[in-house]
Each structure stands twice: as C-alpha cells, then as structure tokens.
A and B are shown apart, each in its own frame.
Chain A
C-alpha cells in the first residue's frame, strides 16, 4: 500500500478544525480540573465527616480506574438518568473531574505543608477559618504545586484524545474522519500526532511563563 502524504492538503482544514477543538476542550477541562481540584482538596480536608468519607471513596474510585471507563460511565450513565449532555460537555466534565481528583491530591498535601503560623496569624487578625483558608492558606498551597499541576495539564491534553470515543469531534476524531474518506490511517494519525506535539510545545511554553510569574511572587 505504501505511504502517500499528498492526500493531506485536501483534509488539512478538517484536521486543523479538530486541533482547535482539542485546544478548546483541553482549556475548558484544565480550568475545571484546576478549580475543581481546589474545591475537592478543601472538601477532602475540612468537610464534615459524613461528606468527607464518601468523598474520599469517590476520589479513590476515580484514581483507581481508567479515564476511558469513567468517560463511558459519564456519557452513558447520564443519559440513563435522563440527562442528555452534548458529547463535548460530557468530555469536559469527564476529563475535568478526572484531573481535578489528581490536582486535589497535590493541593491537599500542599495545604497540610503550609506553616501552621499562617493560619494562626490570619486567625489572630480576626479572619474566620474559611476566610483564612481562602485568602491565606489555599493560595499559598496552590502556588507551591503549580509545576506538578502543570504536568497534570499536559497529561490532560494527551488524554483529551480519549474523548473521541464518545464522539467529540476533536483532533483524533477529525483524523479518523479523513481516514474514513481516504483509507490513509498512517498519514493522518501521524499528522494528528504532529498537531498534538505542537499544541504540547505551546502548552509547555505557557506553563513555564505562569511558573515564572508565580515564582516572582515569592
């Protein structure tokens, strides 16, 4: 059969459109995972026991099972209980929650590592526990784990390929679309890989900038 990359230009715009969607889903899920991770961490550490324990079980379940399986559950499970989400939204929720759990683990450790004196100082000024957490402890904890959270975001970009299986027309599914027309899987999957690689490089550059900015505020 051999290789023939001359088929690519005709479908380039389809694949590029897919790349745009991949960026969109990655950014949306990354934001959800970041803020979700903070909320999860606070729940896991400070919620009353009857919330905390089931929540820990949920975290454990999410960390112990494959993302693909979770995506199937969210996509088909929600349909079953009568919530018919667009594939894009289901994909963002699935990816976002999955990585929120991983981010939450990082943030929890960091919160516990923030010096006890910080909470004390905030409380002596009259801040409530919630205010002290929100304004003093959690921001420091999050700042401390920006680099590993960045690594999770990079992993999220690559795992976003999985949402193609629930029908989100991102980069991987767009490549499959072109393959369906041309029967040229090698060429188009390699093309998709190149796009992923470029997005990956761009994302690493952005994350490095954020890290430098955060580093400056020390």
Chain B
C-alpha cells in the first residue's frame, strides 16, 4: 500500500489567527482505503486540520492534495468557487452537530445535492436515497423530518447524505461527541461497516476504544503539531512521547469518572 501515491496529501499545512498559530507546519499522507484517527485535547488544531482538507477553514500556508488535484488552489474567486464545489463532491464530511437541513425530510436531505449537482432525476434520486438509508439502517424513517429523529439517527442520516455523493474520502469531525452515550454505538457501527468496505476515512474523535479497533493509524496532535503518530497498538499501548502519555492518562481518568 505504501508504495502507492498518497490519496490525501497534506503538505506543510500552516494556519494562524492573528498571532495565534493553530497549525504549525503539519504534513500528513493518507493512502487509499486507509483509516486515520486524529486525537488530541481540545484546541490542539485537529478539527482545524480536518476542516482544511475540504477548504472549509482555508490554510494560511501549505497545500492540500486529493489524488492529482490541489484542493486549496490559488484561483480567481469565480474559478475557485467552481473548482472547490467540484472537489467537495469527492470529500464527504460529517459534523459533530449533524447539520441536517431541518426544513427538508430525510429523503430530501439526501437527494438535494445529487439532484442539484449530478443532474439525476427523481426516480434515480429516490433509489439512491433508499440505498444509502438502507446502508445506515434508516430506511424506515425516509419521510421523517430531522426534528423527529434521535441524535444517533440524525447522525446516521448525515452519514448517508455524505455517502450519497459517492465521495472518495470521508471526514468525521467528532461525529459522536454530541450524542448521549447510549446512542454512540449505533453510529460507531455504521462507521465500522464503512471501514470494512475500505472507505478512506479521516476521523477526529474522542473515542479511543473506537479509534483503536477501527483505525490503521493514529495521530496525536497538541498545540498545532503532530506529537506522535503510529499504529493504534503503539499509540494506545506503548506511547513514546510524554505528552501522549499524559493525554491518554487524563483522558482515561475522565472517561472512568
């Protein structure tokens, strides 16, 4: 796998707000089918890095590449808009707070973007919605409004909505952090199923157990730098860096409270 060209390639990513440096020269290569978890304390820059991948939070310096396309290309406004809208169709994203469209039904949430951007007709769109919902076990709620769903159900629909665009890579921004503990597992199951299909995924998470069981590689970030990275067995069982050890110890203590 490693002899291939990287699928997602982050080169020297830098980001600052005024004098505050949030990302300090971060590079990360993710290969096709690889599943990478990013962990770290809040304010470490992990969400910022994730949101830079589809240019939601543009970098101050550095490059993001998806296969042979540079994501954060420097283009005149109009051309950039066209470019980024095309790129983003290949990058699915799932948010902490779901961000389902409350004025649309589950079905409409899923079909909105494919209909607008891929020009598919109603029948195709419906079929697509049904397929994706079946995948996340939400088919029976197809004509519900988001307000009628639980948090876990909302997040499963949000995943189906992202998958309906047939993305090449999926970004998860603390997808289970806003959920009640008993609802976390149903979302984890969906993500595990995606992992088994070898979807390329980059996951910002607080769920260490999940990261350990699903991911190929774990990055520990703190204060805008990658402190340590490696396979989950090393990062979680035998971390080399003092900061990683402190973080995991504190996290474990919090989790046991």
Direct contact of A and B (CB under 8 A): yes
In the complex, what residues of A have CB within 8 A of residue B100's CB?
A: 121
- Chain B residues closer than 8 Å to A143, beta-carbon distance: 103
A-B contact count (CB 8 A): 68
Which of A16-24, A36-44, A126-134, A181-189 interfaces with chain B?
A126-134
Contact with A along B141-174 (1 / 0, CB 8 A): 0000101000000000010011001000000000
Does B255 count as interface, using CB distance less than 8 angstroms? no
The answer to whether the Cβ of B135 comes within 8 Å of any Cβ in the partner chain is: no
Instruction: From known contacts A117-B99, A140-B101, infer whether A126 and B85 are also in contact, taking CB-CB under 8 Å.
Output: yes
- How distant is A15 from chain B, measured CB to nearest CB, in Å? 42
A residues near B117, Cβ cutoff 8 Å: 125-127
Interface residues of B in 161-213 (CB under 8 A from A): 161-162, 165
Residue numbers in B under 8 Å from A118 (CB-CB)? 99, 101
How far is A140 from B101 in the complex, measured between Cα atoms in Å? Answer: 8
CB neighbours (8 Å) of A208 from chain B are: none
> In the complex, which residues of chain A have a beta carbon less than 8 angstroms from the beta carbon of B85?
123, 126-128
CB of B123, distance to nearest CB on chain A (Å): 20
Tell me, yes or no, whether B81 is within 8 Å of chain A by CB. yes
Size category of the binding interface on chain B: 20 to 34
Could you say which residues of chain B place their CB within 8 Å of the CB of A139? 103
| Cβ A217 vs Cβ B89 within 8 A | no
Which of A's residues lie within 8 Å of B, judged by CB?
115, 117-118, 120-129, 131, 135-136, 139-140, 143, 217-218
Task: Give residues in B with beta carbon < 8 Å to A.
Answer: 54, 56, 81, 85-89, 91-93, 95, 97, 99-103, 112-113, 116-117, 145, 147, 158, 161-162, 165
Across the A-B interface, the 6 shortest Cβ-Cβ residue pairs: A121-B99, A126-B89, A125-B113, A117-B99, A124-B93, A126-B88
What are 20 A-B contacts with C-beta separation under 8 Å? A117-B95, A117-B99, A118-B101, A120-B95, A121-B101, A123-B85, A124-B92, A124-B93, A125-B112, A125-B117, A125-B162, A126-B86, A126-B117, A127-B113, A127-B116, A129-B81, A136-B112, A139-B103, A143-B103, A218-B102
